[in-house]
Structures are given as structure tokens and as C-alpha cells.
Chain A
Amino acid sequence: MASRIIMPKLTDSMEEGVVVKWRKSEGDHVDSGDVLAEIETDKAVMDLEAFASGTLRKILAVEGTTVPSGALIGVIAEPAEDIQGLLKEVPEPAKKAAAVDPTHPPQARQDAPFPGLEAVKEEAMVSTEQGEATASPRVRTLAREHGIDLKKVKGSGPSGRIVERDLSPFLTSAVSSQSAVPIGKDQIKQAGQIPARTPTRAARGKIVGEKVAEGPLNAEAEDVPLSQIRKAIARITTQSKAPIPHFYITADVDMGEAMRMVEESKSSRSSISINHLVITASARALRLHPGINASFAGDKIRIWRRIDIGIAVALEDGLIVPVVRDCGSKSLTEIAEEERALVKRTRNRELKPEEYTAATFLISNLGTYDIDNFIAVILPPAAAALAIGSVRDVPVVRNERVDVGRRMKITLSCDHRVIDGVAGAKFLQTLKQELEHPLPFLPPQGGG
């Protein structure tokens, strides 16, 4: 028997969800309980499980689309079963939109008085075509939050506008009815779908465990909606920090030589930065310590042959980690050119997903922000992340004399499932030596 796959309503506040990824393709056999797709709600990404067995006959929402809760996104049925009847309910988006007749543009009001105080009383009276009473934006928000049907509310504002005071009798009753009838779960069951990890519900229908910290004074906070990149950062960092047992090792690096190279390169055609030196030095150190260029793979440790280094690049609304591939076989100049191009394309948001995933080692540099030292979060599949602080002029003792040294703190975050303390320390020692004695900078051939 055919079974409908719908976009579930997982929380009271969920009105739509994004189909992030289909884990099954059309024609695949599915068993009840199989994960069909990953659904991104307003709070998290969750697995959508099949509630019936059969063949996934039709996928109606392509990956990346946002679909209202309750809408049909696919059909499971027997291979030969007729599913045309079910497919008819696919919504036709935006059918009613843009119904403005171009030959009759809306007339500008000629009689509008100067927008002073007196004008407000008249101007504010806007009513819909059907002559229905309007509601203030605040009322619409409250109605949505408390599940109040505005058709039942009589408005006392101008032209019958529903204003906040008109809602007061409904606000108390709405709360009690909401706690009596939990929305969401039942609808999902009826529709034949249940999410894999149905979160525990608190009395008011909020997801426990992802509950937003609510301060005592709500009026003093401001809620900023999560961008897709911010959602991704929240997901990825939590998935890293929670399961991966991090530990950290810090070293102090003498950057005197390295800084001289950076300065000297400024006059050449392709200048180099501290980042370029750190990537190159890390690649050389990783070649000598392959156990750091590795991943935890459940029942084994996977040591990568290629050294792919991810660089954290800050964007206005988050950060992205573009990856310089195969650093082990590239020269400083090649790495510098590649990094510059990648960072530029990152800032222009031109990267393809394969350019910012699957780094085997990570570097995050906050040195330009006058940061002494910090620790980075490991992003799997990498097992280590290197945090770079600022280069500082500090007193150092050299040949029994106090001298000015240029020092930089680097901190390695390690996945203890893969790397032990001594292994991490040895790697850091090599990296420190590489940075303190960089290979002479060779400008590109032919030019000048």
C-alpha cells in the first residue's frame, strides 16, 4: 500500500523544513525504520525515517528546497502500484502570487495628507479586499505563538483592526489547550512518518537539550535568525567538541627569521605571509609525523598519504575552511599563490563544497587580532588543529643577555583517540624548528 512521506512538524515553532540530503534514491527498496533523508529544522538537522516498507517511488522535493510542514515530499509504494492519485496533491508554488494586472496599476493616493500626527488615524486603517479585519503585526506574532485563530477575535482598533488588548481573553485559554494537546507528534504518526530521534518534549513543546538559553529579561535580548552558514557551524562544532576528546599543547616559537623573510618578500612580486610559512612548515612536519595527518575511523586509524591543510577564513556571518590540497609536494611559493586565490574566492563565496571539506589538518590564525594564544576546535576528519597567536616583541634571554625577540605562540588541539601527548609534542617540536629555520625564500623565476 502506498505511503506518503511528508515534511514533519517536529516542534511547535517549526513551519517548514529543508530537505538537506536524500539518503535513498528513487527506485531504492526501503524498510520501515530506514533513514530516508536528512531534514533541517529551525533547530537542528534530523534524520527522517521510513514508516513503511516498499520502494521509494517518487522524490518530490529536491535537495536544498524548503518545504512547509505537512507537505508531501515523496512516496513509498509497491513497484507496480499506481501512485498518480497521491501525486496530485503536490502543491503548485506561487500560483496565486503576482496577480497584479499590469494595465491597472494600483492608484496612488492623491488625498494623503502630510504625514504628521493627524494623518495616522486615517492612514493606519488598511483593510483587505474581502473586507476582513486586519491585525497588527504584534497580534499576528502572538496569535502564531499561542495558536489563536484570529477569525474568532473581534478587533477594537480603527476599522476593526485587531490590536493586542483584543487578545487578552484568548491568551490564557490558548496556553491551557496547547499543553493538553501536544501538536506535532500525533500529526507525524497519522501521516505515517516518525523522526528517528524524536526529541524529548518539555511541557510547552520546546526541544529539550537544544533549548535556547532564556535570560530573565527577554526584553533586553534580541533574537537574530540563524543563517545557513551559522547553522552549519553550530552543527559541526558541536559534533566535534562533544565526541572528540580534545587535548592541547602549546609552544613558543622564535619568529625572528620567519618575520625577516616575510618583510623581505614584500618587495618581491609575490609576497608571503605568516600563514604561508605556517602551512609550509606544517606540511613538512606532517611528512615527518604521519600519525598526526590522520583520522579516527571507528575501529581503525586512517593515516592519510596526502596532506590537505584547511585554513579558517572569517566571513561576515561565519567562517569557512578552504583546503590547500597536497601541501606535502608543494613549494612555499606554490602554497602562497594557492592560498591567496582560495582565500579570495572564499570571501567572494565562490567555493565549491569539495574545496572546503575533508581537510586532514587545520590551521586557524587569529594573530592579526592581537591574540596571545587560543585553542581551536578540531573539525573531523582531521585529528588535529593548530591555533596561531600574534607575533610579539618580548624580552628573551640569549647568551646570558636580555634581548628583544619576536615570539609567536602556537597551540595544537589533538584528538586523543588518534594522537597521544608525546606524539603531539614531538610534532610540535618539529614544527617549531621548521618555523624557526625556514628555508630561504625563492622568488618565482623569470620576472622582476
Chain B
Amino acid sequence: MTLTYREALNQALREEMRRDEKVFLIGEDVAYYQGAFKVSKGFLEEFGPRRVVDTPITELGFTGLAIGAAMAGLHPVVEMMTFNFAILAMDQIVNNAAKIRYMSGGQISVPIVIRGPGSAAHQLGAQHSQSLEASLEAWFCDVPGLMVVAPSSPRDAKGLLKTAIRESNPVIFIEAQLLYPTKGEVDEGEYLLPLGVADIKRAGTDVTLIAYSKMLSIALQAAEVLAKDGIQAEVVDPRTLRPLDLNTLAASVKKTGKAVIIEDGWPFAGLGAQIAESLYTRVFDYLDGPIVRVTARDVPMPYARNLEDAVIPDVKRVVAAVRTVLYKK
């Protein structure tokens, strides 16, 4: 069945809310407006205002409220209108959601999902358009106690969100604004996809491209271009960024000997740096050259369309990076 990324998320949430009445959705404009990106379309009608809760513009407040509800036994799903606004809730996420289980000696779990769109969209300016799956997401990935998921396809989005809701630990679930309308094949009926398991989206032998969320489609397009040149790129999607499925990534790089990591976050201390470090540790002796990262440029996101395009990684830059690691002119 073909669904959009948005519809797949809607289905996942709806199935889980029907399955378990402890699951509820809370956030700005999730009920009467049906979500800023219409992910919760039809929810208020079906589940009522007690389980689909509109909040004031108070990220720190409603995230804290949801964490408390999770500690008391409910399974809240918090929608961030975009992850830019989750910065306001960082204290609750880092100091409470991630640590309560540890600090209570395992007595209290925080089964919460915090979800919303993360990466750059088009012409929203520096404060509303930053590649949070690689930059802010690197902030989240830094924190022990959090799991971080960033699906790239409708199928992954549905299966991973359902698993995230059933997880007994806090999960940061980062979607992408530009992915919401994209279509893809989704399994019939209910299914779950495991967290912490990468997916090989395209098999190849010559170079490993590592990309997730919105950047995965750039990687796949680059692989198409490279194939015309006789270069078979393997495209690996980690899907879950923490815990990272290093075994799958390392096996691929061990095979190809070359790796390019594509992320649309800032370069310095970005997630790709961590992935590269982990790979160097694991497969140094199998590398035929340095791992190359393709990242956003090290600047706030410009508003001007042409400058914005110059900042975000594109197919051309990925192809050039692959040619570099393959020692081709």
C-alpha cells in the first residue's frame, strides 16, 4: 500500500492509541488544528480532548507535564511543532526524561515519545530552519538515557514510531518537514520495526554512503548518478541514531573500504564526526582512505534561496565526495 510519510505517522499513532488507552498526544495545535503538519488529522474526533491535548506555547511546561504523566504510568506522545522549539524543553528532556530511570535505581521509567519535524525546510530563516537531525540531534544523541530515531521513508516512519511508543524509555523521534508529502510502500496491516537496527537501502560494493532522514534521498540519488559511471554505492540508513547499529555500518565499510557520511547538520561536533570515529575504531584496517563527511556549511541557515541551496548538501557534493574517496579525478 502506498502512503505518504504523513499518513504513515498518522496510522502509527492512531493504531497505538486504539491499542492502548494510556497513549495520548499533547502539543501545540495538535487537536482542533489537527497538527501544524496535519499528522494528527481526525484524532480529536476519534479520541476526544482528554487524549488529544492542545497546549499553550510552553514547550518546557507541557514536556515536563508529559514526563510526569509518563512517570505515573501513561504513555505520552509529545508533538514539537518543529524541533527548533524543543530547545526550550531541553532541561526537561535532558535532566528529567533521560535521567529519572537512572536516578530512581530503575524504579521509575519514562515511556515518552517526543516527536516532530527536525531538518531544514525551504526559506524559513536561521531560527526555524536548521538541520536538527544532525545538529540538535547530535545534542540529543550525546545524552545517555535517550534513544534517537530519524526515519527516512513512510515504511520506516510507521514501524519505528509504533515501536517507539511501546518502548519503556524516552525516545526522541525526529521527522522531516520536506518528507511529510513523500510517498512510499508501506506494509499491509500492523507491523513493528526494531529500534537500533540499520537498513541497507541500496546494496553496492565500491563505497558506503551513510545517510538518514531527508539526506537519505540525496544519497540514493547520488548512488544513481554514480551507477552510470560504473560505481556501485551501498547506501546504509542507520534509522536509529542512538543506539547506533555500528555492526551493520562497520560490516558495509569493511566490505567497501570507503565511506562517505551525509548529514545536513553543521560540521563541527556533528553526528557524522561520531559515526566516523566509531568506524575508525572498528574498521581502521579495512579503510582504503579517510572517511569523508558531507555536511551543511558552518553558518546559520541563510534565508535567500540560492544561499540556502549552497549550505545544504546536494547530490553534486555527494558525488564529488565519493570520487574523492575513490581516488578518482
Chain A residues within CB distance 8 Å of chain B: 114-117, 120-121, 123-124, 136-141, 156-158, 161, 163-165, 219-222
B321: chain A residues within 8 A (beta carbon)? 117
Contact mask for chain B residues 314-325; partner A; CB cutoff 8 A; 1 contact, 0 none: 000100110010
Q: A117-B294, A137-B286, A164-B257 are in contact. List 4 more A-B contacts (CB 8 A).
A: A120-B290, A121-B324, A138-B286, A138-B288
What's the tally of chain B residues with a CB closer than 8 Å to chain A? 26
CB distance from B292 to the nearest CB of A (A): 5
Contacts of B292 in A (CB 8 A): 117, 120
Measured CB to CB, the closest approach of chain A to B285, in angstroms, equals: 4
- Say how far B250's CB is from chain A's closest CB, in angstroms: 7
Pairs A-B, 8 closest by C-beta atoms? A219-B255, A138-B288, A141-B285, A164-B288, A136-B288, A138-B257, A137-B285, A157-B327
CA A358 – CA B239 in complex, angstroms? 51
Chain A residues with CB under 8 A of B255? 219
Known: A114-B267, A123-B290, A220-B251. A137 touches B284 (CB 8 A): yes
Known: A136-B289, A137-B285, A163-B288. A115 touches B267 (CB 8 A): yes
Determine whether B293 belongs to the interface, using a CB cutoff of 8 Å to chain A: yes
Contacting pair A117 B289 (CB below 8 A) = no
How far, in whole Å, are A327 and B310 apart by their CA atoms in the complex? 76
- Asked if B94 is at the interface of the complex by the 8 Å CB criterion, the answer is no
CB pair A157–B285 under 8 Å, yes or no, is no
Q: In whole angstroms, what is the CA distance A136 to B282 when docked?
A: 15
* CB closest chain-A residue, reference B290: A124
Option from A114, A115, A117 in Cβ contact (under 8 Å) with B317: A117
Q: Is the interface of A mostly helix, strand, loop or mixed?
A: helix
- Minimum CB–CB distance from B229 to chain A (whole Å) comes to 15
Question: In the assembled complex, how far is the CB of residue B80 from the closest CB belonging to chain A, in whole angstroms?
Answer: 30
Q: Does B60 contact A (CB under 8 A)?
A: no
- Docked Cα-Cα span, A163 to B257, in Å, equals 10
A163 and B286 contact, Cβ closer than 8 Å, known pairs A138-B257, A222-B247 = no
Check B327 against A158 for contact (C-beta < 8 Å). yes
Residues of B within 8 A of A164 (CB): 257, 288
Chain B nearest CB, measured from A114 CB (Å): 7
**Could you say which residues of chain B place their CB within 8 Å of the CB of A138?**
257, 285-288
Shortest Cβ distance from A141 into B: residue = B285
CB-CB < 8 A to A163: which residues of B?
Answer: 288-289, 327
B288 engages A139 (CB within 8 Å): yes
**Complex Cα distance A116/B69, Å?**
44
Cα–Cα, bound, A164→B285 (Å): 12
State the CA gap A140–B289 with chains docked (Å).
12
Known: A114-B298, A115-B267, A222-B250. A120 touches B285 (CB 8 A): no
Report the minimal beta-carbon distance from B179 to chain A, rounded to whole angstroms. 25
Q: Do B327 and A140 touch across chains, with their CB atoms under 8 A apart?
A: no
Question: Is B14 among interface residues, defined by CB-CB distance under 8 A?
Answer: no
Q: In the assembled complex, how far is the CB of residue B238 from the closest CB belonging to chain A, in whole angstroms? A: 16
CA distance A139 to B285 in the complex (A): 8
| A137 to B289 alpha-carbon distance, docked (Å) | 8
B115 within 8 A of A: no
| CA A116 to CA B272, docked complex, whole Å | 12
Whether B257 and A222, one on each chain, are in contact in the complex, defined by CB atoms closer than 8 angstroms, is no
Query: How far, in angstroms, from A115 to B324 measured CA to CA in the complex?
Result: 14
CB-defined contacts of A139 to chain B, threshold 8 Å: 288
A117 vs B323: C-alpha distance when bound (angstroms): 11
- Within 8 Å CB of B317, what residues of A? 117
A174 to B293, CA, bound (A): 35
Task: Collect the chain A residues with CB atoms within 8 Å of residue B267's CB.
Answer: 114-116
Query: Could you say which residues of chain B place their CB within 8 Å of the CB of A136?
Result: 257, 287-289
25 contacts between A and B (CB under 8 A): A114-B267, A116-B267, A116-B295, A117-B294, A117-B317, A136-B257, A136-B288, A137-B285, A137-B286, A137-B288, A138-B288, A139-B288, A140-B285, A141-B285, A157-B289, A158-B327, A161-B289, A163-B327, A164-B257, A164-B288, A165-B327, A219-B251, A219-B252, A219-B254, A221-B251
- Cβ of B257: which chain A residues have Cβ within 8 Å of it? 136, 138, 164
* Chain B residue with Cβ nearest A140: B285
| A120: B residues at CB distance < 8 A | 290, 292, 324
Contact B293 A117 (CB under 8 A): yes
Q: Render B248-290 as a binary contact track against A, CB cut-off 8 A, 1 for contact.
A: 0011101101000000000100000000000000101111111
Within the complex, the shortest CB–CB distance from A19 to chain B, in Å, comes to 27
Closest chain A residue to B321, Cβ basis: A117
B269 to chain A, nearest CB (A): 11
Instruction: Please tell me if the beta carbons of B294 and A141 are within 8 angstroms of each other in the complex.
Output: no
> Which residue of A141, A156, A221 contacts B327 across the interface (Cβ within 8 Å)?
A156
A158, B317: Cα distance in complex, Å:
20
Minimal beta-carbon separation of A289 from chain B (angstroms): 42
CB distance from A229 to the nearest CB of B (A): 22
Inter-chain contacts of B295 with A (CB < 8 A): 116
Closest to B320 in A: A117
Chain B 124-141, CB within 8 Å of chain A: the 1/0 string? Answer: 000000000000000000
Residues in B with CB closer than 8 Å to A140 are: 285
